[in-house]
Each structure stands twice: as structure tokens, then as C-alpha cells.
Amino acid sequence: MSDGVQTEMRGAVGVVTLDRPKALNALNLEMCRRLLPQLEAWAADPAVKAVVVRGAGGRAFCAGGDVRAVAASTVEPRGAGPERLSREFFRAEYALNHRIHHFGKPYISLVDGICMGGGLGLSIHGSHRVVTEKLVLAMPETGIGLFPDVGGGWFLPRFPGESGTYLGLTGARCGAADAMWLGYGTHHVESARLDSVLEALVRAEWGAGPASAVVERILSSFHADAGTSVLATQHAAMDRCFAAERVEDIQQALEAEGSAWAQQTWATLVHRCPTSLKVSLRQLRMGRKRDYDEMVAVEYRLSQSMTARADFREGIRAVLVDKDNKPRWHPGTLGDVSEADVEACFAPRDGDELVLAPG
């Protein structure tokens, strides 16, 4: 059995295929637990020059984490196992992201189709991301009562201007040209040519020089212009509206902006979880000044406090179970989310902190 993920060596390339196509390759605990030791082994093996990660099924790279299973586990009767899933899953997922972040060899994601949330965690921390015309990229967590995790507190503030604040709060979807503009995509290649990209990496002569130079040369030879980014055209308005320190002020700035983009964005924010919005903005501002490893520890605290809230189960119900897309949030308005409520979500967890090996 593949346990949702296949791994194999091809030439000097370790190949990972995320293989849960019916769930759009959403990452579950078993997949994280298989991948982490495999990456450890490949990092330590001098015969491995590079790693390639891709999704099976042709529709998605990875739709996110298996949040449905996590939500189900928070309502099951307390016993020996399932109620621990929230703890075990986020620990395993963030440890995997951390391993990729510090991998040290070329780690190339072939991002062909849907890539959301946990899919960014599997790709953005590596060295290269090849995106295609099928890319749909988003951090949609504020729509299910969570927050942009898997390092979002670190990578979103490092996108151009306030684009990361915009993406993290609204969950807006981007295409390939946007992904290139953000710096998420390092190369843009037609979907139909991805097998040839992998083949070229597998056949490469690695020699004695740096493997990264070989990877760069190969990926560049397949690269084609991705066209005009929609995000880029909204850049100035995004910077004007999303620079504020309070979500209420962002909404007010969008009202004052008045454009069709601003009206749409305002309408999107109104449907997001109010507690998620306030928690996420604080997380994103915190991440401006902290390094990646520090933000992972913060995000682990948030993963535990946010998945324990009723809004998370309600978000999963509305978006993934009943699919009515009409979540009823509590509190239901920004004004009813107090500073103390937000602060409490960030509180250190006695005996349950995530401590990962430094760099």
C-alpha cells in the first residue's frame, strides 16, 4: 500500500508522489509520518542529488491538510487515540515543513493544479517550484475558522508589499502569473511538459559541481513566460488597503477605496471567520520581525487553540461537509472579538510546545 504517498529513486533523484487523488492529495498524518524519515534519509545520502515532489491524478498538487479528519476527531468521545489527532497531525505536518525548509539540497515541487494551505507547506519551503497553467494557489484557512499556517506567518509577510496580508486574510485564489509575481513560482512550464522535466532531471549528469546549478540549467531550459499577473495590477490598491493594524481598519480602507476589486474583497472578508481574521492579522504582523523557526512555534500554539474552537468545526461543516458555504461564526462580528480572545489563542501551552531542532 502507498499510504497516500509513493516514494522512489530515479537515477540520483528522490521522487515523491502524493497519491490520494480522491481527496485532492490532502495531507494526512500517515503521509507526514512516511515522508519525514524518507526526507531525512535522502538528505543524508550523498547519492541523492535532488528531490522532486508531485501530485497524482492530474487535478491537484495538494489541497491542504486533512482538516476534515482533524475536525471529526475533536468531537469523538475521549479515549485512547483519535482526540489526539489535532496534536499529532500538526506536530507531524510542521516537523515535515521544517525539514523541507532546512533540506539543503535541491527540492523541486511540480505544482500542477490545486495547491492550498498544507500544499504550500510542502512546496514553498523547498528550493524550486515549477508552476503550470493549471495552478490554483490559495491560503483559504480563514474560511474554515483557522489561520494561514504551515509557515504562512513567515512567508506571507515576505511576499511583495501587502499581497501576503491580502492572500492570508481573504483566501483569494491565484494563477500561475500571480504565483510568479509573488515569487512562489520559480519556473513556469506547460503542464504537458512536466514529465519531460522529471525525465531531464533523472538523466542529468551531476558531476562534481553544485547540484543546484544543474537543476537551474534544466528548469530554465523548460521555462516559458506566464503572462500578466492580476495581483500585480491590484498591487497599489492592496498596499493601500491592507497596511492597517486592525481588520476593522482594513475593511474601512476597502470601503473608501470604492473600486470593483475593493468591493469584492470587502464582501469576501465579511464571510470569513471574525476570530480567524483578527488572529491571522496579528500572526502576519508578528511574522514580519521573526524568523521561520520562531513562527512555527507560534503557529503550533495557534493550531491547538484554533482547532479547539467551535468555529473550526462549523467551517469544516459549511465548506467541506454540507458544502452550503454558509458558516455561522461565533462571535459573528469583528466587534465582538475582544483583544483578550485573540491574545488567548497565542498563549504558551504548558507541556505542549513544539520544539524543533534549530536550522
| Contact stretch for ligand QUE (CB under 6 A) within 111-119, 205-213, 252-260, 272-280 | 111-119
Q: Which three cell numbers stand for residue 40?
A: 531525512
Strand partners, 136: 114
Q: Which stretch binds ligand QUE (CB under 6 A): 135-143, 180-188, 207-215, 276-284?
A: 135-143
Backbone φ, ψ for residue 155 (5° rounding): -80, -30
- Is 65 among the residues that bind ligand QUE (CB under 6 A)? yes
Query: CB neighbours of 184 closer than 8 A, spacing ≥ 6?
Result: 120, 124, 129, 131, 137, 159
With CB under 6 A as the rule, give the number of residues binding ligand QUE: 16
Joined together, the cell numbers standing for residue 168 give 492570508
Per CB under 6 A, does 319 bind ligand QUE?
yes
Residue 64: CB minimum distance to ligand QUE, A: 2
With binding defined as CB under 6 A, does residue 67 bind ligand QUE? Answer: yes
Out of 55, 113, 126, 140, name the contact with ligand QUE by CB under 6 A: 140
DSSP 76: S
Dig out the grid coordinates for 346 from the structure. Answer: 497565542
Nearer Cβ to ligand QUE, position 117 or 287?
117
Decide whether 116 or 277 has the Cβ nearer to ligand QUE. Answer: 116
Contact 195, 54 (CB under 8 A): no
Q: Are 334 and 175 in contact (CB under 8 A)?
A: no
- Which is nearer to ligand QUE, 245 or 325 (by Cβ)? 325
CA-CA distance, 181 to 186, in Å (whole number)? 10
> What's CA 172's distance to the chain center, in Å?
13
The least distance separating ligand QUE from the CB of residue 28, rounded to whole angstroms, comes to: 9
User: Which residue of 26, 177, 237, 254 would you call a contact of ligand QUE, by CB under 6 A?
Assistant: 26
24 binds ligand QUE (CB under 6 A): yes
Q: Give, in order, the Cα–Cα distances in Å from 222 to each of 7, 131, 134, 194, 228.
A: 24, 11, 16, 9, 19
4, 113, 117, 274: residue in contact with ligand QUE (rule CB under 6 A): 117
* Chain position whose Cβ is nearest to ligand QUE: 64
* Chain residues that interact with ligand QUE, rule: CB under 6 A: 23-24, 26, 63-65, 67, 116-118, 140-141, 143-144, 319-320
